Structure 1
Amino acid sequence: MHHAVLAARLLALRVGAGLSLTQAAAALGAHRTTVMRIERAETALDAGQVRTLLERYGAGQEEIRQFLSELATANLPGWWHPWRDVMDPWALDLMNVESAARMVRVWHPALVPPLLRTPAYALAVEDALGTGRSPADRARRVESLTERRARLTERGTRIWSLMTEAALRTRVGDGNIMEEQLAALREDAARPDVILQVARLTDPPHPLTGVAGLTLYRVDVPEIPDHVVRESPVGPADVWSDTETVTAYRTLIDQACAAAPHPSTPLPYPVPLT
């Protein structure tokens, strides 16, 4: 259970009990900003504080027990914990959102989107980008990406990917790597949990033409908003969760997908190996 979900539930319980932030804070012997930070998931949820608040809000013992059990689960390290030292900080912050997503929509203007990359292709991208990381760290980043995909598949999260025909032309690694990647894309296109569209080079520009890679997380949990991520070649990615920005990018992705060939359309052509 996501900390943000539990924090939102605490807010709903306080409002339902008709208590102000000041009244809730009094039960903790703290300032109202302490409760505000708890309700915004801006601080770790302490089991003792949570129990005190739940009792003040009139929760029954079974509800308190269940809440604290979910909190204990939320406090366990995420699956990504072993790779946290090689993951981008902004990506770490989004793993809980990804874990709650029912659909991940991705766009990449020049390469195969990360979640559809084979390990060999992903490693070749890491090597080509010259990130300054050691070979061991680059290999571990690929491991974390492979695990991400496995976790999404396990949860039945749908991946809706829009890529360009240019990705099939851009040589990443050698011919064997490209051949393996294309075969993997064909297999993915036949999966029920993957929607794959390829914008052709001969098609007119679409709303995402020239736009950096995007990832849109569609989340089913009411307490967690949808998120959109725009990649950056320098510095951290841009991340938004406000309704206006997320809706604007979702509209762009919808329009670009509507302009692209239907998902059932075969991949344009095999990757040349010479």
Structure 2
Amino acid sequence: PGDRRCHVGVAQVDPGRTHRRPPGSDAVSRQEFDNALASQGQAVADVAAGRASVRSARINLGYTDVAAPITGRAGISAVTEGAYVQGNSATLMTTIQQIDPIYVDLTQSSVQGLRLRQDLASGKVHSAGPNRARVKVLLEDGTRYPIPGTVQFSDVNVDPGTGSVTIRTLVPNPQHLLLPGMFVRGQLEAGVLEDALLVPQAGVAHDAQGQATALVVGRDGKVLQKTIQAPRTYGADWVVTAGLDAGERVIVSGLQKARPGAPVRIANGTGASPGPVSSTASR
């Protein structure tokens, strides 16, 4: 294209020069003038063809770069340098994973979800507010991930094999501690249960009918068995919504010797303490 532009420049000058006849001279013929105009037109056509070739080459060169539609990290390459790939064959070249932020899919029992919706409707549980649900992630080694995530949506289908619903959350991952395929546990804070007690799991038992019970220290200093409502857990504790009163002491050790009506010897003041608790769904 550069050479052709030079030719055009020469051709553009020639007609003007030949057309200006020196004084008293009639040396330029009409044929030479027409030849100069034809040469100019040919040069212009050559430049246009050259520009079209450059554009075509740039387009073909662009096909050698495959731009990723997302930001992330690429995995192992599925092809080697120099391998032939084409768009219409859908050749897998590599897999790109979005790392920060990263999606964490949790599963919640459909029974837990139904109970939570019923508690929210009845007023037993107060909603955390629109777009306020938070998720806390526990890593594979049991340590707590330092940054909480947010709930994106809950699936509308229940898995018939497991009876669970998938909840998708979005968790910031600036240090890349979370990797695709990693197994984690999550605690979803969907509402606040104001009047609830936390009781250590060791202090709650279930009878043959599945009813939760607890052994407490009565006013007379003897063992008293109470039937309680413990619909869910929170961390290492049971969430007790009914059956216990604030300030009651729950027996958590020596349960093999504890029988209703037997005297109790309190060691180190071990017992349960009341307090508000968040309603959670654990995976």
Alignment TM-score, normalising by the size of structure 1: 0.22
Larger Rg: 2
More strand by share: 2
Alignment TM-score, normalising by the size of structure 2: 0.22
